[in-house]
Structure 1
Amino acid sequence: MQWTCPIRSGAERQPEAPALTFGGRRWTYRELDTEVGRWVAALRSRGVGAGDRVALLATNHVAVARLFFALGRVGAVLAPLNARLTRAELRPLAEEVAPRLTLALTGLADRLPGAEPLESFADTVNSPESGGVTLEPGTPRVILFTSGTTGRPKGAVLTEGNFRASARCSEANLGAHPAPRWLGTLPLFHVGGLAMLTRTAYDGGCLVLRERFVADDTNRAIDEEGVTHASLVATTLERVLEARRDRPVPATFRLALIGGGPVPTPLLARARAAGLLALQTYGLTEACSQVTTEQPDEADGRTAGRPLPGLEVRIAGPGGEVLGPGREGDIEVRGPTVMTGYLNRLEATREALRDGWLRTKDVGRVDGRGRLTVLSRRTDLIVRGGENIYPAELEAVLASHPAVQEAAVVGVPDERWGEVPVAFVATRNGAPLPEELGVWCRESLAGFKVPARFLPIEALPRNAMGKVERAVLRERALAA
């Protein structure tokens, strides 16, 4: 199977349909196709061709979209680096990529030595190139570095086939839309952001790209710009609801995917009361974003849903044996969205991919209806006196307290029990930490699961995708 650039295909099918908006401007498929053609010419003038890698340091910007599709047309690979990293953190990642070309937004260039300005890269090119290579399922498209919360970041290699399959499987789960308008607030240096960019292009839709998330702006996009879909995390969903004061969303808005970890059930109920269908989802970089997602017609907020059509999920025991419904174990994934491996990391690839299954290192269980509940990352599991404690379970109980804004639980060493849970709690409006949190937890949790300590925090530290940085919290818990 071979494909051409989806922007070129869109320009041939629906040239005047909107493809992208950013910074108050709009580009049709015809206009974006011309812009991508100019970037193709610029890349080729610099000798960038099939198999070459281009390192990029940027926040969301229209130039990132142009670069991504232009690289596809020349058969080159994009390596977007996390714009929140320091110069010291970026150096080894750039060295591992060994790029033919390095680009960065002007305000970030000082962190990436040798980077050329991204915004003006194609400014000197007047004549776009119309040709391009055909893309096959195994054509590498992106190298995305994992967050590195459990060690040195690894570059997951994702292919054109991975992105196409991810879009196809997601549409099969959510239902087709004649002209989706997806709000792009997730960073394009993350798999979630790139999934939205590619998904809208394959579906002939429009990406409503934003530089960053702002609650009032998100509501404006929902109310005034005809946005039909959005991808959020629990904290941003709550900020959206707070900003709109639970005012119902218009009928044009179809649904929001909520990732980044378990979502408090009261928050999902609050969203649905405002007519905002919020679907829990579970995914990871190595599987090109979504793995499981609730189905719109049976969403109840209790699980992360079934595997997307075309994907398989199983639960494995310590010896690799497959466990039945309700049993807790390691989550493994198989299907066309799974990466080809880690860049320059043969041993890590062999460890992650076995017999076609991706070993996620996450812990969960599948119910009798095939729906996945994610309990914890294996590295986040707390073992107190031989009993397993999953932070997500404790966090859900804490989040249901009316005074709690958000909470995270980590394990710290303990002489008697080996390890005990410690809870970091951010309260609403900066109120004092409720004294009855221990009692509140004991009403829903076994005694050994109740946190040994409750520590106040203004806001939980999170990475670019909204995931809690538990390593930072462990350090603070030990220091306390």
Structure 2
Amino acid sequence: MSEAGGREGGRSTVCGCPIREGARRHPDAEALTFTGQAWTYRALDAEVARWVAALEARGIAAGERVALLATNHVASVFLFWALGRLGAVLAPLNARLTPAELAPLREDVEPRLILALGTLMDRLSGAEPLESFAASTSSPTCEPLAETASRVILFTSGTTGRPKGAVLTEGNFRASAKASAANLGEHPAPRWLGTLPLFHVGGLAMLTRTAYEGGCLVLHDRFDADAVNRAIDSEGISHASLVATTLERVLDARGDRPVPPSFRLALIGGGPVPLPLLERARKAGLLALQTYGLTEACSQATTERPTESDGRTAGPPLPGTEVRIVGVDGTARGPGEEGDIEVRGPTVMAGYWRRPDATAEALRDGWLRTKDLGVLDARGRLTVLSRRTDLIVRGGENIYPAEVEAVLANHPAIQEAAVVGVPDARWGEVPMAFLTQRPGQPRPDAETLSAWCRQSLAGFKTPARFTWVDALPRNAMGKVERTVLRQRSST
């Protein structure tokens, strides 16, 4: 892993392709659906083999990188598994980025091949059409893949500085799938709803999870609340991954219709979820579990357990994963003590692509330093207080945006809330709240909102300014883009 500057040494298990294994064990089981089409494990295995032959014909071998620019598409699934059989590495790029933003990522990866959906090809110089790439019908034989083999390079959506490419391995994905299944409970053939983008770790986690568990990925090209509800009602969906905003849109679109018993649960990432929203979901029969994860830990690090969830924390670490809280001096903190969140286990990335200094900074003695702030309770459950870059320091007092946002989100007139720090001559920094209005509710004034906050928060945590917006800016995963809000605060 010299390119990633990551961990070396140790023994590695050799792994076969889960699609080929599925074709051997349950060939007629459904493995994938997309826009009305379905593939059994036998059919998907044959399609992947066709893509392997096409990639080999272009000289793609172990260690080579293939860049991909695409929204969710079935060809991306074929490509992912085909590259795995060759030991080659996928570098999926965010389909929302501009040509100027994509150019340095391409230069960093130095791909042997660039593929893009036809509608996106003009954004990436040298790209070839993804949809028509594989034309070969031969069926090559591929060697098993080592757990330490790199599978993807995922560029982090950091708010400052040059994006870093997290290198995730075959072992990372397998460990993540195994730990998630152990936490959520056994299912004979889970059907995961795939609305998260496949250029994000959450989307790839669902893709790999279903294959390793012998389930089916019901892939959607984008999120659409009505389409999600149709899939839940008529396609036997058992699991889904959402964020708070998409969960609310699904519930809004459902109206009074209860969720069928075939739907087991939804993982909710992207930050804390307002308790009223979780309660509303449960009234509809939808069990929503909060989770904390990050790209560098191959998606989930902690997740609520279905039998113990109360919506007040992000749950305990997944089986096989360790989470600790440390102080500024690096010593571990006890229950109830705030500090930096660190993660250790088989899901932690190999390192950052060609960034040895950044890798050394992030990985210390096997621990991933997330730079997020949190606290563990006596039961080992994690509460995320703030992403490190989101922390607001007002006159020496720490303010965690999530805490303020949770209070604001409970106001009947507020649909969503996002809090950021803005410069202040007296205090150095003060919180500012951006709000969206709940339909049909009157808009309260700043004095009313301040009074509402003071019922639950210390005075220094109350936002100094409240700004109403039509919608909060979000990235492809639905996370609020706080950098954009900070920029708006100065205009």
TM-score tier by shorter-chain length is over 0.9
Q: Normalising by structure 2, what TM-score?
A: 0.96
Contact 1:82–1:189 under 8 Å retained in 2? yes
Q: 1:264-287: per-residue Cα shift (whole Å, max 9, x none)? A: 011001000111000000000000
Aligned-pair CA distance for 1:430? 7.5
Aligned-pair CA distance for 1:148? 2.2
> Take 1:464 and 1:133, find their aligned partners in 2: how far apart are those partners?
35
Contact 2:423–2:429 under 8 Å retained in 1? yes
State, as a whole percentage, how many aligned pairs show the same letter.
75
Partner of 2:289: 279
SS of 2:439's partner is: helix
1:188 is aligned to 2:214: no
Change (3 A) 1:430 1:422: farther
SS of 2:380's partner is: coil
Q: Which amino acid aligns with 1:12?
A: R
Contact 1:200–1:207 under 8 Å retained in 2? yes
Contact 2:293–2:301 under 8 Å retained in 1? yes
Q: Which of 63, 73, 97 is the matching residue for 2:109?
A: 97
Q: Which amino acid aligns with 2:151?
A: R
After TM superposition, the structure 1 = structure 2 runs for residues 334-345 of structure 1, keeping only pairs within 5 Å, are 334-345=344-355
> Take 1:262 and 1:478, find their aligned partners in 2: how far apart are those partners?
26
Partner of 2:91: 79
1:463 is aligned to 2:470: no
Change (3 A) 1:385 1:343: same
After TM superposition, the structure 1 = structure 2 runs for residues 103-252 of structure 1, keeping only pairs within 5 Å, are 103-123=115-135, 125-129=136-140, 131-252=141-262
> Take 1:136 and 1:263, find their aligned partners in 2: how far apart are those partners?
38
> Take 1:319 and 1:80, find their aligned partners in 2: how far apart are those partners?
37
Aligned-pair CA distance for 1:176? 1.1
Q: Which amino acid aligns with 1:456?
A: W
Q: 1:165-217: per-residue Cα shift (whole Å, max 9, x none)? A: 00000011001100000000000000000000000000000000000000010
SS of 2:430's partner is: strand
> Take 1:391 and 1:246, find their aligned partners in 2: how far apart are those partners?
33
Unpaired runs of 5+ in structure 2? 1-12
Unpaired runs of 5+ in structure 1? none
Q: Which amino acid aligns with 1:100?
A: R
Q: Which amino acid aligns with 1:281?
A: T
> Take 2:98 and 2:353, find their aligned partners in 1: how far apart are those partners?
21
Q: Which amino acid aligns with 1:25?
A: Q
Partner of 2:375: 365
SS of 1:68's partner is: helix
Contact 2:413–2:442 under 8 Å retained in 1? no
> Take 1:222 and 1:160, find their aligned partners in 2: how far apart are those partners?
30
Aligned-pair CA distance for 1:126? 2.2
> Take 1:384 and 1:242, find their aligned partners in 2: how far apart are those partners?
37
Aligned-pair CA distance for 1:135? 1.1
RMSD: 0.8
Change (3 A) 1:90 1:430: farther
Contact 1:229–1:253 under 8 Å retained in 2? yes
Aligned length: 477
Partner of 1:36: 48
Q: Which of 269, 272, 278 is the matching residue for 1:259?
A: 269
Aligned-pair CA distance for 1:431? 5.4
Q: Which amino acid aligns with 1:16?
A: D
> Take 2:67 and 2:379, find their aligned partners in 1: how far apart are those partners?
43
Change (3 A) 1:323 1:431: same
Q: 1:211-245: per-residue Cα shift (whole Å, max 9, x none)? A: 00000100000000000000000000000000001
1:289 is aligned to 2:299: yes
Contact 2:362–2:369 under 8 Å retained in 1? yes
Q: 1:67-94: per-residue Cα shift (whole Å, max 9, x none)? A: 0000001110000000000000000000
Aligned-pair CA distance for 1:49? 0.3
